[in-house]
Amino acid sequence: MDKLRLLFLVFFICTFSACGDSNYSLKEKPQSVTIVLSKPNSSSSYRNFIEKLDTTIEINWVNAYTTPLSQLALELENADGIIMTGGVDIHPGLYGNSFDTIRCGTIDILRDELEGALLDYALENGTPCLGVCRGLQFMNVHLGGSLHPNLPDTLSNIHRGLSGAVNHPIEIVKNIGVFEINISNILDPVSNHHQGISRLAEDLEVWAIAPDGLAEGVRHKDTIAHPFFVGVQWHPERSGDVNSLAIPIGEGFLKYVLNYE
C-alpha cells in the first residue's frame, strides 16, 4: 500500500510540475536578459521605456551599431530580444527606387547593412523583435516591401510637424493577441516621420492605420515561427502611458523576451 501511495505521489508531482509533459512545465522568471538595440538614441528613451516595465529584471543592453561584428555575433547568440530603433532614412535602392534619394534626408548605408543582418538573425531564430518608426519601415523593406520616400508629396502631411513630433489619431483594425488592444480603439501617440509603408511586404499584415490610411502597425503573418515580430510607425518610447498603447506594446515585447509563464 505504501508503495502504491509513493507511486501515485511521484505521478502527481511529475504531472503538475516540470518533470511532466511540456504543456504543464513551469518556466522560472529569468533574472537577466539581453536586448540588442540596432542603434540607441542619446536620451536612452528605449532603455527607460523597457526598464520601467519590470524593475526586477536586469537587462544587458547591446548597442549593435558600435559593437564589433565578431562580438555582435556572440551577443546575438545570447540575445533574448531585438529592438529596431527609429532614425535616419533607409536607402531607397533597397526597395528598387534609387532615384528617390533626392527626396530622402540623411541616409546611413552602414546602418542599413547592419539592420539587415539583425533582421536575418531574428527571422531565422524567431527572436522577439520590435520595430519602431524606421524599424517598422526597415522590416517592410527587408521583407520585400517599399516606402513612400516623402509622405507630404504622395499621401499627407499629418505625420510630422514643422518643428518635429506631432500627435495624430491611430485606429486599431485587428487584435493581434500579443498585447491587450481593442478593435477600433483610437490612440493618440507621438509621431515624427516623413516616410512610411507604400507596398506592404507579403509576409506582413497591418493591424493599425492612420487617418490617411498609412500602415501604423504591422506584424509577421507566421505567428508560429515569429510569435513577436511587430512594428509600429509611431514612438511608444516617447508617448504617454495613457491612450498611446505604449505600455501594452512594451509589456508584450518584454513578455516574449522573458519567455516565462
- Distance, CA of 181 to CA of 244 (rounded, Å): 11
Q: Which helix (H) or strand (E) holds 61?
A: strand 58-63
Q: What is the largest CA-CA distance in the chain?
A: 85
Q: Which of 104, 115, 133, 220 is catalytic?
A: 133
Catalytic site includes residue 28 = no
Catalytic site includes residue 237 = yes
71-85 b/e with 16+ CB inside 10 Å = b?
ebeebbeebbbbbbb
Q: Taken in order 51, 53, 59, 65, is the CA torsion positive or negative?
A: negative
Catalytic site includes residue 51 = no
- Distance, CA of 20 to CA of 159 (rounded, Å): 52
DSSP single-letter state for residue 200? P
75 touches 62 (CB < 8 A): yes
**Cell numbers representing residue 50 in the block:** 523597457
Q: Which of 142, 193, 216, 237 is catalytic?
A: 237
- Distance, CA of 96 to CA of 76 (rounded, Å): 29
- Give catalytic residue positions: 133, 235, 237
